[in-house]
Structure 1
């Protein structure tokens, strides 16, 4: 029988050649012949005739009287002839079973089995590792969620406290603003009352002067020094904003009558003569009002009545 060559790794599996049946047949024939010989020897040993044995018994004791005659023993019966021993029926032998000769284990199958077992173990280890990682991740997420919830609650509490504090501060600010507004309104009311009283007193003075002495014309005349006039002119001019053209022929002039308090605050502004350009007249009037209070003289006094004249070319 030729030796089988192991299959190379990676080559397709092939069925090995069937071994020869002659050795198995010869071995079965020899075993059956030995069994038959053993049975024949056993049967022939049991068929030998047994040997007959005869014995006589004598009494050796002393007898005083003559012994009675013993009855004649009957003739021995002939021994029965042994029955012939028939050999047991020969067992029917089953036909020889042809068994394939043992084949050496396939290395590729063994390797494939080991590979599958290794892959199975690796898969189990991978599942266990993934399970542990998933548990760790879930635990970490739970801790992170708990921390975020705590921070969110803390922020919400701080936000609520801040809102309450803001609301409280707004209420306090509102009350303070209301108190300040009341205080300011009272101060403005008192100041307005004071100014109104001064205005009334000045009107009375002007009315008395015009009715008795006739010095109103003098008070409106150019009695002030040049520095005082220049300061008032500069103050009014710096507060006047006229964006129109100043190249009109004839150099139009606007004349205003200004009444002021001893503090320099303007009581009234009245247009005496228009320049013919309403925009210019309004611009000069607004400049006079914005210049309040007007500058004072060097001695701290003011002219209660002023004639303010402004030509259009003064703003070139």
Structure 2
């Protein structure tokens, strides 16, 4: 890969074999000068004249007497070459040689230019190839980075999904456990409430039986005593105090103000009404309490009964005494 430096201009690559080509061209010029020199020197030499003798063979019978040899025929000297024509021919030859050398030099320059252009094209092609390879490498790196980022995002998303699924499962388990515990607690409360209701019903029944036995004993005692009149129900009636005196008009409000704060109820309120029968001592001490008329909801009946039992002692009437027996009507606050 060829690096571009902004401090130095772009230069063509250095050609190989330049020194060898220069040496070869110098040798050719030296040889050309040598041949030109000897060719000119050979053309300038003046040819020397030549002489020739002609001889004729004569038979001996034809010669009666010796004849003196004829004088030699002078040989005409060769016409000298005109120097102007030799100069023209030499100049023409020299021009042709120079033209040939010039053409050879031009051809060499053209060959060098083609070679240089080819080398520049190769260098440019190499640069383009290097740039293309660099672009491909950058694209591959970018694609690899994107793929890696996508894989990381998918892994993170999968991890978050798994974490959310685990949290959801944990919440569901916790909710199920909470529901199971709530159900268990509700069942326990229901069982405790049922047990309390059963105990309250048993206690109320026990108290009712005891009250009946007491009243029966009192009635039997009053019936057997001398001078007694009536059947003895006046003292045991509802809404009356001891001695058969009726309770004042404000006594019921006092009883309601005493019992109402002790009512604990979170269930339905519509249509519930319970009448509780109580027996008290003249000082207000609660002797017995029982459900006289049920509301149809045993849980509310038990709550009303507990509220009456928590209200011990009961308030006293205007005469300073609490009626022996009376009824309390309770409804849930709505």
Whether these two folds match at TM > 0.5 is: no
User: TM-score band (shorter)?
Assistant: 0.3 to 0.5
Tell me the TM-score normalized by structure 2: 0.35
User: What TM-score does the superposition give when structure 1 sets the normalisation length?
Assistant: 0.36
